[in-house]
Chains A and B, each alone.
Chain A
Amino acid sequence: MKMQHNKAWFMVLPMLLVVAVSAIIPLMTVVNYSVQDSFGNNEFFWVGTEWFQEILASERFHNALQRTLLFSGLILVIEIPLGISIALAMPRRGIAVSFCLVLMALPLLIPWNVVGTIWQVFGRVDIGLLGRGLSSLGIDYNYTQDVFDAWVTLIVMDVWHWTSLVVLLCYSGLVSIPEVYYQAARIDGASRWSVFRFIQLPKIKRVLLIAVLLRFMDSFMIYTEPFVVTGGGPGNATTFLSIDLVQMAVGQFDLGPAAAMSLIYFLVILLLSWVFYTVMTSLDNDSNSAGRGR
């Protein structure tokens, strides 16, 4: 018996090593920095939770957090309904299917910084197609100077880049619904809306949960595209948490506060993802406990 126990540990060991090297050790380095102050020469002083308190109290952090939350909220509000609508409108059979799928997948295949560069050039007032086009229409558009224009540009860019992901996930859920469901709905005389509300939506709920989680996490961590397009400006208008963090860690070389901030950032993402997951799965499971509401 004793021997077998030890053997089991050997089996788990490779996985433990992988997890340790890939996740635990790097994370612990960050934790290490977050509780110490350093002055070059590899000199460290223990400061406890001071950095955490400083970050949590700082207005700079609050503003960046609010911007990031607003950005993620807008992204979800736009991309999820839009993605579902496009998925519903996509063809179910024929050559058009492969055509649409490839078309949808294209933006997903472009690297983040390239997407940023494309839109940075596209929106420029002097040479960009979009920027020139808008100004020749008499619309005053300049994402480098106007806060609203900067936000619109970033959101349109993210919608262009990532709505496809929602579309593809929803589409996979929709095509897995057996044809008989639609047939039964037709016989029942159900309206287009009822078919969506009572057949399609419940059936794609699970993939939709994944889509919401992925889009939330990705948009909450967005860095490359705003960095390339606006660089966090105008002013601090598009300085999201990630950009702020890099400025603090690399620009100012404040390793301690930056480490504390990344841990807080990580916990915020973890917490919000957990909330999303719990809310959406409980919507799924309320069936047993629901009382008779009549």
Chain B
Amino acid sequence: MLTLENISRRVDSQDYLVDISLEFQRGELNILLGPTLSGKTSLMRVMAGLDRPDSGRILFDGESVLGEPVQQRDLAMVYQQFINYPSLTVYENIASPLRVAGLAEAAIKSRVAQAADLLKLTAYLDRKPGNLSGGQQQRVALARALVKRASLVLLDEPLANLDYKLREELRAELPTLFAELGAVLVYATTEPSEALVLGGKTACLSEGRVEQFGPTLTLYRDPNTLMTAKLFSDPPLNTAAVKGMNELQRFIGSSDTGTLAVRAHHLRLASEIPTASTFEIRGRVDVIEITGSETFVHLQFMGQPWVAQLDGMHTFRPGAEIALEFELDDCLLFDDNGVRVRKPSGGRI
């Protein structure tokens, strides 16, 4: 178990990490989700021991590891860039951490063979990384991390530089690959969809702070703050000030301030006969994007850019006014501080 207690780090009077407290269990997949510069890599560097936090404690299985140099930590890391030793063969690359550890040749051979088999690299063991495709190069880096059997595995956007086919393939394999190790596994990503597919637990990071930490699906369904909801939305979360929307105010109660948030896929074309459980909005179309099975309608609503993700193909003229609706149960409401206002009935997805 890896415990971070009140970790803060400032560089050149800029806050990189602010009072971060997290607890990662062994054998579980922990995701750090946040946009670039949100502190994911800074946090990983601190966890790895590459940087020292200005304050706070880091405990591994209850023991402080803060003073320990990187070399002595039981740790493996994979990066966004494909980092391998360019002059060594794939076999030697995978074997390199074992050689440093001083394992016997026979043990090295069997472990490398096993890792190569899992990552489908057996056919390429004699090649050098420069002669492999991007996906295979990253597989070599992953095999190096896997073969080490480290108790802390840090994956820093490992799939970001791969094209989507390879990304999907590796994403499906990743959790199972490392789950058997019983290691603390931390995975950083900028993509909400990647976090959702991977499951596990997610810590939402924004400007060096942890917005919310919990099971990935819970964070998506039931965000505590507007920031978490925004981080967990792709296409971007649709928001509007509640003020002036009388019907909604009635729904919320007495308050006439705060923010309404609706995910793009919860919007649909308004039906002829409105029902009590739905809320209708009218907006002006900016652009439409048709992917084939879905249509993304970009529109202006109350001075805000909104996106609606509609099933099937729809064509609207830019500038046309359209009516959309959403289920009241689906919308999220936040007060002026960005904290969730929960409805008594409880929401669903």
Contact yes or no, A199 B85, CB < 8 A: yes
Contact yes or no, A189 B86, CB < 8 A: no
Also in contact, A184 and B77, with CB within 8 A (given A202-B86, A290-B126): yes
Q: Can you list 20 residue pairs at the A/B interface with Cβ under 8 Å?
A: A178-B81, A178-B83, A186-B50, A186-B70, A187-B48, A187-B70, A187-B73, A187-B76, A188-B96, A188-B97, A188-B100, A189-B101, A198-B85, A198-B88, A199-B86, A203-B86, A288-B128, A288-B131, A292-B91, A294-B91
Give the residue name and chain of the B residue nearest to A292 (CB): B126
Contact yes or no, B81 A287, CB < 8 A: no
Per-position 1/0 for A282-294, Cβ under 8 A of B: 0000011011101
- Give the B-binding residues of A (Cβ under 8 A): 178, 180-181, 183-184, 186-190, 198-199, 201-203, 287-288, 290-292, 294
B1 interfacial contact with A, CB 8 Å:
no
Per-position 1/0 for B94-121, Cβ under 8 A of A: 0011001100000001000000000000
Q: Which 9 A-B pairs have the closest CB atoms?
A: A287-B128, A202-B87, A189-B71, A202-B86, A198-B85, A184-B83, A189-B100, A186-B70, A180-B79
Also in contact, A288 and B87, with CB within 8 A (given A184-B79, A190-B100): no
Contact yes or no, B83 A181, CB < 8 A: yes
Q: A186-B50, A187-B77, A287-B89 are in contact. List 7 more A-B contacts (CB 8 A).
A: A183-B45, A183-B50, A188-B100, A189-B71, A198-B85, A288-B131, A291-B126
B130 interfacial contact with A, CB 8 Å:
yes
Give the residue of A180, A181, A287 whose beta carbon is less than 8 angstroms from that of B127: A287
Hey, which chain B residues are within 8 Å of A288, CB to CB?
Answer: 127-128, 131
A193, chain B: closest CB distance, angstroms: 12
- Give the A-binding residues of B (Cβ under 8 A): 45, 48, 50, 70-73, 75-77, 79, 81, 83, 85-89, 91, 96-97, 100-101, 109, 125-128, 130-131, 144
Hey, which chain B residues are within 8 Å of A292, CB to CB?
Answer: 91, 125-126
Hey, which chain B residues are within 8 Å of A186, CB to CB?
Answer: 50, 70-71
Q: In this complex, which of A181, A190, A287 has the most chain B Cβ atoms within 10 angstroms of its Cβ?
A: A287
Hey, which chain A residues are within 8 Å of B86, CB to CB?
Answer: 198-199, 202-203
Contact yes or no, B131 A287, CB < 8 A: yes
A75, chain B: closest CB distance, angstroms: 26
CA distance A290 to B87 in the complex (A): 12
CA distance A287 to B144 in the complex (A): 20
Give the residue name and chain of the A residue nearest to B125 (CB): A292
Contact yes or no, A198 B87, CB < 8 A: yes
A233, chain B: closest CB distance, angstroms: 46
CA distance A290 to B140 in the complex (A): 18
B141, chain A: closest CB distance, angstroms: 8
A239, chain B: closest CB distance, angstroms: 42
B290, chain A: closest CB distance, angstroms: 39
Give the residue of B48, B79, B91, B130 whose beta carbon is less than 8 angstroms from that of A287: B130
Hey, which chain B residues are within 8 Å of A198, CB to CB?
Answer: 85-88, 96
